Copies of this chain bind each other. A is one copy, B any other.
């Protein structure tokens, strides 16, 4: 049982793009009947945190970044009795929760079952630190969980390193894998072998893919890829785009890959990805999260070859459950724990961001 939350707690405040984080204290207030307060166990730095920090994407400041978070319940409102799967919740439980929250009715949720696209949706790590309840981001000692968040209890034998990326990277890949509609025996190509790509490879294998081909240019990523289900890791910096397409078509007889998944964030790769697919193949785009990802494609190829392209962004609450269940069922098969390969104290957040931005670590964790 954790001790009662203190009166004040510390956060690493993002004051402006490209300036050092500043440790500050803010008051903790009692939870309302439909809120939870957690003591943060671990937060990991997502690529979008880096985009915010580097000013390539607007984020309110001063604020508290971080949305890949897990924590232990320190206080729980009287209306919150169970998690999204019906498990009872109490003080001391370690939990994950959706990176976004939304209250009320919205057309996209009610009609199209896309709560992740509700108008007025809010995300953790995207608020002003000065406003109540101050703590709504991962890089802090505490975090409030507001109404309209989906909460999921974590099993005790799951490590923090495996649990922390669940609510962003892993759940997104569960959504991507669903959209990829992988059949038993499919050949799957993954463009980009960061956290998303490595989890994507493991999920493709876990769905019965026969052959998973991973593409990247970072040697350290190519090296670990085989541990995560990648059968062929191809260095795209060798030999030119056309050579990569040719290699893949050779590896996927008789006529190319069934599915290509883009999680590298580079629009130019789309043209090559299309050329890797068989007639009737499927292309899922998920890494192109920044505006103006312009690319020129030959629409005739889509027509003649019955290609389907679809985009995926964020995830449905069911994917958070799938992410957890996937990791629990496959943690003996794939060393997910190793993806979080560096830990930092809250006071060392600048150093952590530096390493993450340089890609010298796969996923940097903060243990506040």
Contact = CB atoms under 8 A, between A and B. Distances in A.
A202 to B, nearest CB: 10
A342 interface: no
Interface size class of A (residues with CB under 8 A): 35 or more
Interface in A266-296: 267, 270, 279-280, 285-296
Copy number in the complex reads 4
Given A85-B111, A111-B84, A303 B286 contact: yes
A311 interface: yes
A184 interface: yes
B86 A110 contact: no
B183 A178 contact: yes
A328 B187 CA distance: 13
A81 to B, nearest CB: 10
A312 B306 contact: yes
A8 interface: no
A318 to B, nearest CB: 5
Contacts of A2: none
A84 B112 contact: no
Interface stretch (A217-225, A242-250, A319-327): A319-327
Given A306-B114, A309-B310, A311-B307, A296 B298 contact: no
A317 B110 contact: yes
A289 B300 contact: yes
A335 interface: no
B321 A311 contact: no
A145 B311 CA distance: 38
> Which among A174, A208, A297, A308 has the highest number of chain B CB atoms within 10 Å?
A208
B306 A310 contact: yes
B150 A325 contact: no
Given A285-B302, A289-B304, A303-B289, A309 B309 contact: yes
Given A86-B253, A184-B207, 6 more contacts: A86-B254, A185-B324, A267-B299, A285-B299, A299-B311, A309-B310
Interface of A: 84-87, 105, 107-108, 110-114, 117, 150, 174, 177-178, 183-185, 203, 206-210, 253-255, 267, 270, 279-280, 285-313, 317-318, 321-322, 324-326, 328-329
